[in-house]
Homo-oligomer: A and B are copies of this chain.
Amino acid sequence: MPTKKKPQVTPTPERRRELLATAAEVFAAQGYNATTVRRIADEAGMLAGSLYYHFDSKESMIDEILSTFLDELWQGYDAVLAAGLGPRETIEALVTESFREIDRHRPAVAIYQKESKYLATQPRFAYLADSQAKFEKVWLSTLERGVAEGTFRDDLDIRLTYRFVRDTVWVAASWYRPGGHHSPEEIARQYLSMVLDGIALRT
């Protein structure tokens, strides 16, 4: 035998992230409840019990996946909001930032989409509801600012508009595949073009 099979020297936090990445991939593909810890361990090349050396429960895995994602998301959003742009530019920046997050955390976003409503009922995941409330506040106020300034139409139900914009952005995580034909920025550009100007030809 020339060499060892594996380096076996990956430090602790590195290994944690690897395992969380594979867990997120399986959660996103199968759904949280439909995913067994044995399946995750299988995908990671180990046995089910061994996962409990790194994590103390299956729930704590999805918890860490989601909270890590949300932390990074809000870091990006807060940076955009701190720039003090106009309503339209803020929306454009938020959407672009969102697609970048989808590009970076696709499984996490997909999990968030599918499971957050169910998880948010548990006290442990109260931060999901908090995040959603903050989310709504930011987008709604930006839209209202735009309506007041005459940037956005005033003949639409503002809450309907909010859900429209929010959903069109985030459902993209269900079909988006990194390394596809379009970069996140290109997708954001086209999405913004559709949302802002519509798909009908202007005459």
Contacts and interface: CB of A to CB of B under 8 A. Distances in A.
A40 to B, nearest CB: 15
Given A30-B118, A167-B171, A168-B168, A198 B195 contact: yes
Interface SS of chain A: helix, strand, loop or mixed?
helix
B194 A198 contact: yes
A191 B164 contact: yes
A147 B174 CA distance: 26
* Chain A interface residue bracket vs B: 35 or more
Contacts of A9: none
A175 interface: yes
Interface string A152-168: 11101100110111011
Interface string A130-167: 00000000000000000000111110110011011101
Interface in A170-187: 171-172, 174-175, 182, 187
Contacts of A200: 88, 151-153, 196-197
B31 A194 contact: no
Interface string A101-118: 000000000000011011
B168 A167 contact: yes
Given A153-B200, A160-B191, A164-B194, 8 more contacts: A31-B31, A31-B114, A31-B115, A152-B199, A156-B190, A163-B175, A168-B168, A195-B198
Contacts of A187: 160
Most buried by B among A151, A153, A165: A153
B33 A153 contact: no
Nearest to A193: B156
A152 B187 CA distance: 19
27 contacts: A30-B118, A31-B31, A31-B33, A31-B114, A31-B115, A31-B118, A33-B34, A88-B200, A151-B201, A152-B200, A153-B199, A154-B201, A156-B194, A156-B199, A157-B182, A157-B190, A160-B187, A161-B199, A164-B168, A164-B194, A164-B199, A165-B199, A167-B168, A167-B171, A196-B199, A196-B200, A197-B200
